[in-house]
Amino acid sequence: MLWKGIEPVVHQVTDRYEKGIKVDPETLATFRVNWYPSEDLPKWAITISPT
């Protein structure tokens, strides 16, 4: 499978995630720099721009 002529890198996660674990706001803020909300679904969909 190719996307724009590039083969994607895919990793399968086999671990289970525990319920109730959340990322603290300071850590999350470092990732949110490149997040942009969707105009159609701002609460549920975001675009992440690569750095």
Q: Mean pLDDT of residues grouped by 10 in the chain (51 residues)?
A: 85 88 90 86 84 68
Counted domains in the chain: 1
4 in a domain, yes or no?
no
45 in a domain, yes or no?
yes
Nearest to 30, CA basis, from 51, 11, 9: 51
What domain range includes position 35?
23-51
What's the pLDDT score for residue 12? 92
What's the pLDDT score for residue 4? 85
Nearest to 33, CA basis, from 14, 45, 49, 20: 49
What's at 8, amino acid-wise?
P
pTM of the predicted structure, to 2 decimals: 0.40
